[in-house]
């Protein structure tokens, strides 16, 4: 379990989510944020990390099929314990990074 790196598992999802939330965030910055999110997931306590990677694998699979992202968003809105925490975790880490590093970022991610 420790050998599985987070970036390949959560990277695609984080990238997609942040691209949608913060459409004006420059690509290079988004890549930096995704890298940070993955590093933090790598450092999570064992059980949480396992859970996040498990959910991440499911969403990675969803992202790989046509229409999968739409389906994934529906799933995320269901009141499923812990599943809804996944985008929340990505957003928390991502937003904290964006506004700490580039405090004048606009609400849509633009560099003011």
Report in angstroms how near the CB of residue 66 gets to other proteins at its nearest.
27
- Tell me: does residue 104 bind other proteins (CB under 8 A): yes
CB 16 within 8 Å of CB 86: no
What would the x/- binding string for other proteins be over residues 22 to 61, using CB under 8 A? --------------x---x--xxxxxx-------------
- Tell me: does residue 103 bind other proteins (CB under 8 A): yes
Closer CB to other proteins, 1 or 28, in the complex: 1
- 3-state SS, the chain, equals CCCCCHHHHHHHHHHHHHHHHCCCCCHHHHHHHHHHHHHHHHCCCHHHHHHHHHHHHHHHHHHHCCCHHHHHHHHHHCCCCCCCHHHHHHHHHHHHHHHHHCCCECCCCCEC
What would the x/- binding string for other proteins be over residues 68 to 87, using CB under 8 A? -------------xx--x--
Report in angstroms how near the CB of residue 100 gets to other proteins at its nearest.
3
Q: In the complex, which residues of this chain contact other proteins (CB under 8 A)? A: 21, 36, 40, 43-48, 81-82, 85, 88-89, 91-93, 95-101, 103-107, 112
């Amino acid at each position: 379990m420790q050998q599985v790196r987070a970036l390949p598992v959560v990277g695609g999802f984080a990238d997609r989510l942040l691209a949608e939330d913060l459409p004006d965030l420059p690509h290079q910055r988004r890549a930096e944020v995704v890298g940070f999110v993955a590093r933090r997931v790598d450092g999570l306590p064992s059980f949480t990390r396992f859970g996040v990677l498990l959910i991440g694998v499911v969403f990675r699979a969803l992202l790989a099929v046509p229409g999968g992202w739409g389906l994934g968003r529906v799933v995320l809105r269901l009141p499923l314990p812990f599943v809804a925490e996944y985008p929340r975790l990505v957003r928390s880490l991502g937003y904290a990074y964006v506004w700490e590093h580039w405090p004048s970022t606009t609400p849509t991610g633009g560099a003011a």
